[in-house]
Amino acid sequence: MDGRGWVTEKSSRRHVSEVNDEGSQYKGQKLIVDPRLDKKVKLSPAPLTFGSIAGAPELVAGMVVTVLRQVQVLAASPTDKKKEMWARYYKVEDERKIEGWLGELRMHCGFKGSDQGQPVLCEFKAGGFHNPNQQGRPCWVSVQSKSSVSLLQGPSRFRTAGKNLICGDFVEAVEEVVACGQTFYRLVDGHWVAREDSSGKVACDLLVRESHKWIYVCNDKDGAQVRETPTRSNAKNRGKRLKYRQRVNISEKVTTYANEVFLKLADEKKGWVPATKLNSSVVKMAGLLFNLWSKTQGSTAGQGCAVGGLPWVLLVAPSLVAPASLVAPASLVAPASLVAPVELFLGAFVLVNGYANGYGYGAAPQQSYAPPATQ
């Protein structure tokens, strides 16, 4: 009691309400303004403020706030003035260090319509990438949509920046945010993109760039179109094609959400090619079974070579799903131990003491050799 007098709690309507503090356990909690909101939310100087306040600070969709206090207030129902309901209010601080109050539900923040019972703030996941296969690895956004994709000022489709990406664009991403069933990626330049479009279809896919040093051969008689980015979009064509049976060095690969693999060329052509034919599992680029190394000369990429006393080793392709049987060529005089097939499991290194011509190899089955440091 401060001696200032009395006040009526309730007559035909409620004049004052008890404020129930929900405790300090919520202090410091991070919440995000629902990215589906297409209007700004005004902060109030106190919980349960009726009407808008001129000049009140506003929050936009996708903005992160810190909860300072959480209370419940008994108030008239926005849909039926004869009824009362407990309404939750948050005192928050935004990214600009501005403090204020806002209601938990849209109906308590001046929103009307069928979704007024939806919350204004929601929990979210942020910081890095959430898929264990993507954590700590270089991730890039690939635009899948045939329509242009808007760059955003924050994680909300309503915060457009006036710039667009087109199908096939390939941009580095630094963070993923998931809120209210929607996923957004923050790009290296500070802009954001939404993973799905307004109809729920994937517009931007998050791809991991994997190191993949191997030799491939074009297995398609029509050749393979080389593109600037890992895409099927002809807008990214480089005007170059791989020829049928042409061998190329590959340095990287990416796999899309639809399990489509693209390979990056490491040679002078530079660019990306798909590993399979369009809308098919038919192999377009086939990985070679083997890769030959010398301690002194490096990789020969599966080319035929006479060993000539050098300690060559054979690397069985790690992408294979079955062991390879190596047989000494009939034209060579091989040790008795090599007359029978020698079985090598995936990733095995062995000394080669015969002639390698792409068909048969003489191998010393009891010897091993550590992988070269460059592999």
**pLDDT value of residue 158:** 95
**Higher pLDDT pick, 175 / 74:** 175
Helices and strands counted in the chain (H then E): 0, 32
Pairwise CA distance, residues 59 & 38, whole Å: 11
Pairwise CA distance, residues 47 & 102, whole Å: 7
**Cβ atoms 262, 232 nearer than 8 A:** no
> Quick check: helix, strand or coil at residue 180?
coil
Average pLDDT over residues 17-42: 89
Average pLDDT over residues 98-119: 85
Pairwise CA distance, residues 212 & 264, whole Å: 9
**95: Cβ contacts below 8 Å, ≥ 6 apart:** 63, 64, 65
Q: Measuring CA to CA, which residue among 42, 18, 13 is closest to residue 108?
A: 42
**pLDDT value of residue 206:** 95
Average pLDDT over residues 70-90: 82
**pLDDT value of residue 51:** 59
pLDDT for 33-42, tens place per residue?
999 999 999 9
Is the pLDDT at 85 greater than 70? The verdict is yes
**pLDDT value of residue 55:** 79
Average pLDDT over residues 68-91: 83
Is the pLDDT at 215 greater than 90? The verdict is no
**Higher pLDDT pick, 50 / 234:** 234
Pairwise CA distance, residues 334 & 340, whole Å: 10
Residue 187 phi, psi (nearest 5): -90, 165
**pLDDT value of residue 289:** 62
**pLDDT value of residue 176:** 96
Q: Residue 1 — very low, low, confident or very high, per pLDDT cuts 50/70/90?
A: low
Pairwise CA distance, residues 319 & 144, whole Å: 27
The DSSP code for 210 is: E
pLDDT for 162-205, tens place per residue?
999 999 999 999 999 999 999 999 999 999 999 999 999 999 99
Mean pLDDT of the chain: 78
Supply angle C-alpha 316, 318, 321, rounded to 5. 95
Which residues make beta-bridge pairs with 313? 293, 351
Domains of the chain from N-terminus onward? 19-122 (no CATH), 139-208 (2.30.30), 212-287 (2.30.30), 290-364 (no CATH)
pLDDT for 255-264, tens place per residue?
998 889 999 9
Pairwise CA distance, residues 293 & 371, whole Å: 9
pLDDT for 290-346, tens place per residue?
544 443 444 443 333 333 443 344 444 444 333 344 433 333 333 333 333 334 443
CA–chain centroid gap for 274, Å, is: 19
Average pLDDT over residues 17-35: 88
User: What is the four-CA torsion angle of 106, 110, 112, 117, rounded to 10 degrees?
Assistant: 20
Pairwise CA distance, residues 93 & 36, whole Å: 21
Distances 100 to 25, 29, 68, 80, 314 between C-alpha atoms, Å: 19, 15, 9, 27, 68
**pLDDT value of residue 32:** 97
* AA identity, residue 298: G
Pairwise CA distance, residues 32 & 196, whole Å: 19
**Cβ atoms 165, 187 nearer than 8 A:** no
> Quick check: helix, strand or coil at residue 336?
helix
Hey, which bits of 180-319 come out as E strands?
182-187, 192-194, 204-208, 210-218, 224-227, 237-242, 247-255, 261-265, 271-274, 285-287, 290-294, 298-299, 305-306, 312-316
- State pTM to two decimals: 0.74
**pLDDT value of residue 2:** 65
* AA identity, residue 139: C
Average pLDDT over residues 12-26: 81
**pLDDT value of residue 327:** 39
Q: Which long-range contacts (CB under 8 A, 24 or more apart) does 251-255 make?
A: 251/211, 251/212, 251/213, 252/209, 252/210, 252/211, 252/212, 253/210, 253/212, 254/140, 254/142, 254/207, 254/208, 254/209, 254/210, 254/230, 255/207, 255/208, 255/210
**Higher pLDDT pick, 228 / 359:** 228
